Amino acid sequence: MDTSQPLFHFNEDALAYAGYYRHDEANPLHTHSFVEIAFVAGGHGVHQSRGGGQRLSVGDVILLRPGIWHGYDHCEQLTLYNCCFSSELLRRELAWTREDPMLGYLLWTGPYSANGHGMMTTHLDPATFEECRAHLAALTALRHTPVAQYRGDIVGRLALLLGILGRTVAAMPRLQPDPPKAVSPVIGHAMRLLETRLADRWTLTQLAEELHVAPGYLVRLFKSATGLPPMAYLARLRAEHAANLLLRSDESIAFIGRTVGWPDQNYFARRFRAHYGLTATTYRARFAASAGHIRH
């Protein structure tokens, strides 16, 4: 992550980053092209997102998938310990987390659930927060080390941190009596198919045929794992990828729609707005100037 200027961004070879930031004034709405996890380490503030305002206190944690817009208001010495990691790392080194009951829910299915809209929040007790802080400090210390030599250390520390968060989220009362279960290999395969062939004109029948299962059975498996039927999950994937292209390219909105599998512009507009609460045009106009950046 480049900190030589007020806007921070991942360099091409970066994997993960952790660091402290203090907000004494409002932090404007912004978005980014990587996963961000914000740990509230001190002070108070209000987190603003599509879901409205959420009053923050020490121990709160906010996980945001790439493309989700947010900001902070009414900050009173609000201190955050931010952990950010690239989408590439999530798809490569952390790809195995898709099929892990806890981490799959934390990183892949929970934020995509019907009410998640790409975001998840939880709260850590003091002892658990201190455990996370130790791993965050280790990631911070690895910030200036050569990635080629310390890749294992970085990914390992991040995995330990995610493990703590996964256990915390799995124990949240709102998930009981149905906590995250082991994800069927069929669902992991389906997720990879949809992600790698995003522009295909998928139908439930076609996906089921490729997986050699009955459509009804696939829907039951998918909803059990993600809370969504397969085509709704695909819509979330397409919206996220479209948001990334809107931020990081100058391609027309029509071209981006075709690229993610929505060649009908009107349909693209409706689906994108359903996920982000903004039209693609408004999203780009508001956030593209800081593509892939976070203000802190």
Tell me, yes or no, whether 135 and 241 share the same domain: no
Cα→Cα distances 113→116, 182, 277, Å:
5, 17, 15
Same domain? For 26 and 100 the reply is yes
- Stretch 28-39: mean pLDDT, rounded? 91
Query: Per-residue confidence at 293, pLDDT binned at 50, 70, 90?
Result: very low
* CATH code for position 235: 1.10.10.60
pLDDT for res 108: 84
Pairing of strands 119-123, 60-64: antiparallel
Q: Is residue 292 part of a domain?
A: no
213 DSSP 8-state letter:
S
Helix, coil or strand: residue 156: helix
Residue 192 lies in a domain: yes
Write down the H helix ranges in 122-146: 126-141
The tokens describing 85, both together, are: 């990691």
Shared-domain flag, residues 192 and 170: no
- For residue 131, being part of any structural domain is answered with yes
Verify that 171 and 207 share a domain, yes or no: no
Please give the distance of CA 170 from its chain centroid, rounded to a whole number: 17
φ, ψ for residue 29, nearest 5 deg: -55, 135
The pLDDT value recorded for residue 4 is 34
pLDDT averaged over the chain? 86
Q: Is residue 5 part of a domain?
A: no
Are residues 164 and 21 located together in one domain of the fold? Answer: yes
Residue 143 carries which DSSP code?
T
Question: pLDDT, tens digit, for every residue of 54-89?
Answer: 999 999 999 999 889 999 999 999 999 999 998 888
Pairing status of strand 35-49 against strand 60-64: antiparallel
Q: Are residues 170 and 106 in the same domain?
A: yes
39 is written with which tokens? 């740990």
> Does 201 lie in the same domain as 167?
no
State the residue range of the domain holding 219: 185-287
- Domain-located, residue 154: yes
C-alpha 243/C-alpha 259 separation (Å) is 12
Judged by DSSP in three states, 82 sits in: strand
Q: CA–CA separation, 177 vs 39, rounded Å?
A: 27
Q: Say yes or no: 166 and 19 in one domain.
A: yes
Residues 253 and 150 in one domain: no
Token pair of 117 as six digits = 């809209």
264: which 2 tokens? 């009908």
- Three-state DSSP class for 40? strand
Provide the whole-model pTM: 0.84
- Residue 4 located in a structural domain: no
Residue 296 resides in a domain: no
Which tokens is 44 given? 């108070």
* CA separation for the pair 124, 55 (Å, rounded): 15
Name the residue with tokens 């790439």. 66
Q: Which of 154, 175, 196 is the last residue of a domain?
A: 175
Rounded Cα distance between 101 and 170, Å, is 9
* Structural domains counted in the chain: 2
Which tens digit of pLDDT belongs to each residue from 226-279?
778 999 989 988 999 999 899 888 999 999 999 999 999 999 999 999 989 999
**156's tokens:** 């390992």
Percent of the chain with pLDDT over 70: 88
Q: What is the pLDDT of residue 295?
A: 37
User: Of the candidates 145, 175, 205, which is a domain's last residue?
Assistant: 175
Structure tokens at 100: 């892990």
Whether residues 129 and 194 share a domain: the answer is no
Let me know if residue 264 belongs to a domain: yes
| Residues contacting 177, CB < 8 A, separation 6+ | none
104-113 confidence digits (pLDDT tens): 889 987 887 7
Domain end position, chosen among 111, 140, 175:
175
Q: Quick one: pLDDT at residue 156?
A: 95
Whether 18 and 143 have beta carbons less than 8 Å apart is answered as yes
Structure confidence at residue 177 as a pLDDT band (50, 70, 90) = very low
Token output for 150: 């310390």
Specify whether 26 is located in the same domain as 169.
yes
Phi-psi region of 95 (alpha: psi -120 to 50; beta: other; left: phi over 0): alpha
Residues 146 and 212 in one domain: no
Q: What is the CATH number of the domain that holds 51?
A: 2.60.120.280
